[in-house]
Chain A
Amino acid sequence: MHRSRRFAALAGRNINRETFVEPWAEAGLMVADSPYDPPASLQLKNGQIVEMDGRQRDEFDAIDLFIATHAINLAVAEEAMSTPAKQIARMLTDINIPREQVARLVSGCTPARLVEIMRHMNVLEMMTAMAKMRIRRIPANQAHVTNFREHPALLAADAAEAALRGFAEVETTVRVARFAPFNALAILVGTQTGRGGVLTQCSVEESLGLRLAMKGLTTYAETLSVYGTERTFVDGDDTPWSKAFLASAYASRGVKIRFTSGTGSEALMGHAEKRSMLYLEARCLLVVRGAGSQGVQNGSISCIALPESLPGGVRAVLAENLLAAMLGLEVASGNDALASHSEIRKTAKLMLQFIPGTDFIFSGYSAIPKRDNLFGGGNFDADDLDDYNVLQRDMQIDGGLKPITEDQALHIRQRAAQAIQAVYRELGFPPITDEEVEAAVVAHSSDDMPPRDIVPDLAAADQFLTSDVNFLAVIAALEKSGFDDVAGNILQMGRERLAGDYLQPSAIFDENFQVRSAINDPNNYSGPGTGYRPEGQRWQEIQNLPQVKPPQAFIDGNTGQPLARLAELEPAAAGTQAEVIVAVGPAFGTALTHTINGLSHESVLEAILTGIASEGMLARIIKVYHTADCGAIGYVGSRLSGSGIAIGLQSRGTTIIHKKGQPPLHNLELFPQSPSLTLETFQHIGRNAARYAKGASTTPVAVKIDNGARLRLIVKTTLMHRREIDEVREHQLPLELRFDWEPNE
């Protein structure tokens, strides 16, 4: 068989590094609608659920029992279950039906009924529904900050930068579990240097996580994982009751939590019980709700590559995000693990959460490079930060981030690294040297950090964890070292624990340390003209990328002193001799002095005249004032040319060779790609024009095709053309120009 060169090229594309598998229902490798998924059903007897989704109560497993006891609103269950799924699906996208009304019905649905509702919806409808059902009005974003060396100064610096960039939450984790208290401490100090009120967590084993929270080193916890089958739940070493207890334990210490679930985990752990991923996720979400968690991190999370290997996987992941929002849960919507090798595919996937907005669009945007990410990469990472900011600007969407300048980043990184250095010094931890601080300020990744002896660090971390020293000592250390603002922010996080306002659904703190949650800032989207969209100051902030330049800056290099060697004479008369006219645009040599690719107008004229002279032909230069159009300039020139041949030349370099008698747009040769034109090209153009004037046979000038030129230079082109048009004088006849030049011989 022949090898198609096209197929060979496609085979080399990143998309073909992905894994694609056929669905296999028996193994749970089906994203939705497995033939083994139960039909939705619900029977009540004496105020108790006696049948749910085709199972009798005596067949209920622990998850069924938990859901039946805690998760379903029995007051509306019969109404909800008798409302057709399609009708609820339509209510979700109907802008005339408010969120609360849909949420009320959803609260009485069983897992199978939730999945049936999704069956009627395509991704566009799900996105519309998400925009309405998200519980907090303004979307936000969460960052992952880790590094493989677990360097405290780098963690603090990266956390500070993440906070400055706008992330409302920052999550870290460990490579070596014993580092947990130190890593939690570093991002606490870092974030509160960057911006007070950013919530922080350290993802570790459940009990250790609770201990960190009790010490005040974390302000929320997220990795309370739940699963959709009993076997998987038990393999995860928990039950719905132990997880619910854990949720209460955190709340009793004033600490926010959200649970974690996501499609694919049950299949991956081998106990999917032939159910589809989405059905199992619906069970998870009812456990989350039943346990009283205010929210959930879902969207397949670390299993994302599994649903993405299956047909409809990305749609199912959006469906699970939407189900969570429908259930009144805060949604931190995944996008936190490497989902694809393909930049196109990873971005396309993101759009499903980015466009409607979720409570946290990423449950971990990797604010550090991929190789430093201890969560297994991120769908987007530090290298994509500018891309992300541009996406916000392109679509006028608030994705939770803002552009910052390099100076701002360096400044905040230095303060954060110095702050953690001070804390280590005051608390007697192994010192952080000035050299380490300086490295952390400018670092992109762990590779930029000097090596650090981790043995004493680990010993100090162990001691810190078991001691009574808590975040109050950290506050004192910071205050003593002159970091009053950072100390004040950490103390304020402690004061917030007393109030517990941030235990409410989807709570974050804004830049003024004010809580914003689904209670005091609920989503009020109900169609065009309602709800949140970035406007005013926030929209300005999104627009003002450091890369943005004022229009004038684009043509600064194309302006200068008017050409001293080029003088205007009387109005140009019609020629009678054999000649080529070079007709230039109104800004040529005056308002503009260089072509788009920086060739001086003098050198361009010299090149053209050299070309004309090389064929022994005379040349005349005129300036056309009444038009800036290249075709029209050449047309006017040809009518004044004794030979009928003219070269029309716009100030930006676009050139035409025109012959008298032909209509303006019918030319001998056209050179529309001004950025590709070199002095050699211009000389060749002059020579060809002269040959046309002599009636000699002529081969057109070959020019390079550069399809990127328009992309790179369209703004500059627009502004240069505008400058040319500014010089147009409608009633001014073409003027003869004298150019002080002699051919080299």
Chain B
Amino acid sequence: MSDPKYPLMQNAADQLRALSGRSLSEITLDAAASGSLTADDIRIQADTLRQQAEVAEQAGYVQLGANLRRAAELTAVPNNEVLQIYELLRPGRASYTQLIQLAEHLETTYQATVTGGFIREAAEVYKQRSLLR
């Protein structure tokens, strides 16, 4: 059975907020035209992503749910840092220590424990399969 809240845009619009905290109802054409919206006003919040993760998991899409939970954590991470993490995870880019430090950084700075664990897992595999720098 799918979540009765889904789609949120239809069934829970009044509860939707942007990363900035602005409510969806404030994201209007007038606001955009007058230049009063910022980039964070059109970004998704962690809570919303977790709700979507629940929707996915309830419908049997378990791995998608896990992805959306990692995504929820990454909402706190700035754009440039996200790009840097991706770069470090590519083959031959980082040392084992760098990846572990990256995981720690995500866990402590952004409470990104799921993502941190995912990077630790990658570090072990990269070590085993010679995918480190």
Residues of chain A touching chain B, judged by Cβ–Cβ distance below 8 Å, are 61-62, 65-66, 69-71, 73, 100, 103-104, 206-207, 210-211, 214, 216, 230, 233-234, 237-239, 241-242, 244-254, 289-294, 328, 468, 470-472, 475-476, 479-480, 484, 487-488, 491, 494-501, 503-505, 514-515, 517-520, 522
Pick the contact of B6: A328, A475, A501 (CB < 8 A).
A501
**Complex Cα gap A686–B79 (Å):** 89
A480 to B34 CA separation, bound complex (whole angstroms): 10
Instruction: Establish whether residues A504 and B55, one from each chain, have CB atoms under 8 Å apart when the complex forms.
Output: yes
**A495–B33 touching, CB < 8 Å:** no
5 A-B pairs with the lowest CB-CB distances in the bound complex, closest first:
A292-B67, A251-B71, A252-B74, A241-B122, A242-B89
Can you add 12 more A-B contacts, CB < 8 Å, to A293-B67, A498-B27, A515-B7? A242-B89, A245-B115, A251-B68, A252-B73, A252-B75, A292-B66, A472-B39, A484-B29, A487-B33, A491-B29, A500-B51, A504-B56
Contact A239:B49 (CB < 8 A) given known A211-B83, A248-B71, A252-B75: no
Nearest CB in chain B: distance from A563 CB, A? 67
Are B6 and A252 in touch, CB under 8 angstroms? Answer: no
Query: Which of the listed residues A230, A472, A475, A499 has the most CB atoms from chain B within 10 Å of its own CB?
Result: A499
| A328 pairs with B7, CB closer than 8 A | no
Query: In the complex, are the beta carbons of A242 and B86 less than 8 A apart?
Result: yes
Docked Cα-Cα span, A498 to B26, in Å, equals 12
Contact of A210 among B7, B72, B77, B83 (CB under 8 A): B83
CB–CB B74/A248 < 8 A = yes
7 A-B pairs in the complex with CB atoms less than 8 angstroms apart: A66-B125, A233-B91, A252-B71, A252-B82, A292-B65, A472-B38, A519-B6
**Set of chain B residues within 8 Å of A522, measured between Cβ atoms:** 2
Contact residues, B56-88 vs A (CB, 8 A): 56, 59-68, 70-75, 77, 79, 82-83, 85-87
On whether the beta carbons of B86 and A207 are closer than 8 Å, the reply is yes
Interface of A is mostly: helix
- With contacts A249-B82, A479-B29, A491-B27 taken as known, whether A238 is within 8 angstroms of B118 at the C-beta atoms is no
Task: Kindly provide the distance from the CB of B30 to the nearest chain A CB, expressed in whole angstroms.
Answer: 9
Q: Is there contact, CB below 8 Å, between B52 and A501?
A: yes
Q: Across the interface, which residues of B come within 8 angstroms of A245, CB to CB?
A: 70, 85-86, 89, 115, 118-119
Closest residue of chain A to B122 (Cβ to Cβ) is: A241
Q: Are B67 and A291 in contact (CB under 8 A)?
A: yes
Q: Residues of B with Cβ closer than 8 Å to A?
A: 2-3, 6-10, 13, 16-18, 24, 27-29, 32-35, 37-39, 42-45, 48-49, 51-52, 55-56, 59-68, 70-75, 77, 79, 82-83, 85-87, 89-92, 115, 118-119, 121-122, 125-126, 128-129, 131
- In the docked arrangement, what's the CA distance between A303 and B33, Å? 45
| Most central of B2, B45, B90 by chain A CB within 10 Å | B90
Residues of B within 8 A of A251 (CB): 49, 67-68, 70-71, 74
* A216, A498, A514 — most chain B CB neighbours (10 Å): A498
CA–CA, A246 and B82, complex, Å: 9
- Chain B, Cβ-Cβ closest to A488: B29
Q: Give the residues in chain A near B35, CB-CB below 8 Å.
A: 472, 476
Q: Are A514 and B10 in contact (CB under 8 A)?
A: yes
From known contacts A252-B82, A476-B35, infer whether A520 and B2 are also in contact, taking CB-CB under 8 Å.
Answer: yes
* CB < 8 Å A-B pair total: 217
A72 CB → nearest B CB, Å: 10
* Residues of B contacting A487 in the complex (Cβ-Cβ under 8 angstroms): 29, 32-33
Complex partner residue of B125 from A65, A234, A520, CB under 8 angstroms: A65
A62 partner residues in chain B, CB cutoff 8 A:
125-126, 129, 131
Set of chain B residues within 8 Å of A500, measured between Cβ atoms: 8, 44, 48-49, 51-52, 68
Across-interface contacts of B29 in A (CB, < 8 A): 475, 479, 484, 487-488, 491
CA distance A289 to B77 in the complex (A): 25
Contact call B7/A100, Cβ cutoff below 8 A: no
Q: Which residues of B contact A69 (CB under 8 A)?
A: 121
Tell me, in angstroms, the Cα distance from A207 to B90 when the chains sit together: 11
| Distance, CA A92 to CA B26, complexed state (A) | 48
- A residues in contact with B2, CB < 8 Å: 519-520, 522
Q: A207-B86, A207-B87, A500-B48 are in contact. Are A470 and B39 (CB under 8 A)?
A: yes
The residue in chain A whose Cβ has the minimal distance to the Cβ of B17 is: A498
Residues B48 and A499 in contact, CB atoms below 8 Å apart: yes
Whether B16 contacts A248 by the Cβ 8 Å rule is no
Task: Report the separation of the CA atoms of residues A479 and B36 in the bound assembly, to the nearest whole angstrom.
Answer: 14
List the A side residues contacting B32 at CB < 8 Å: 472, 475-476, 479, 487, 491
Question: Are B43 and A246 in touch, CB under 8 angstroms?
Answer: no
Task: Give the complex CA separation of A503 and B92 in angstroms.
Answer: 31
Name, among A206, A242, A497, the residue most crowded by chain B CB atoms within 10 Å (CB to CB).
A242
Find the residue from A65, A253, A517 having the highest chain B CB count within 10 A.
A253
Shortest CB-to-CB span from A62 to chain B, Å, is 5
Tell me the nearest residue of chain B to A470, going by C-beta: B39
Contact across chains for B91 and A237 when beta carbons are under 8 A apart = yes
B60 touches A238 (CB 8 A): no
CB distance from B60 to the nearest CB of A (A): 7
- A495 and B91 in contact, given A252-B72, A293-B67, A328-B60 (Cβ under 8 angstroms): no
The answer to whether B86 touches A61, judged by C-beta atoms less than 8 angstroms apart, is no
Residue of B3, B45, B55, B129 near A61 (CB, 8 A) is B129
The reply to whether A498 and B44 contact each other, CB–CB distance below 8 Å, is yes
B125 close to A248 (CB less than 8 A): no
Nearest CB of chain A from residue B10's CB, rounded to whole Å: 7
A103–B91 contact, CB under 8 A?
Answer: no
Closest to B71 in A: A251
CB distance from B45 to the nearest CB of A (A): 7
Q: Which residue of chain B has its CB nearest to the CB of A471?
A: B42
Measured in the bound complex, the distance between the Cα atoms of B65 and A294 in whole Å is: 10
Contact A498 B16 (CB under 8 A): yes
**Given the known A-B contacts A248-B115, A498-B17, are A254 and B33 also in contact in the complex, defined by CB atoms under 8 Å?**
no
Residues of A near B66 (CB, < 8 A) are 70, 292
Bound form: Cα–Cα A500–B55 in Å: 11
Closest chain-A Cβ to B34's Cβ sits at a distance in Å of: 8
Most chain-A CB neighbours within 10 Å: which of B24, B35, B63, B68? B63
* B17 contacts across to A, CB distance below 8 A: 498
What separation, in Å, do the CA atoms of A100 and B43 have in the docked complex?
Answer: 34
B35, chain A: closest CB distance, angstroms = 6
A237 touches B90 (CB 8 A): yes
Task: Please give, as numbers and ranges, the residues of chain A lying within 8 Å of B90 by CB-CB distance.
Answer: 237-239, 242
| A294 pairs with B64, CB closer than 8 A | yes
- Are A241 and B33 within 8 A (Cβ)? no
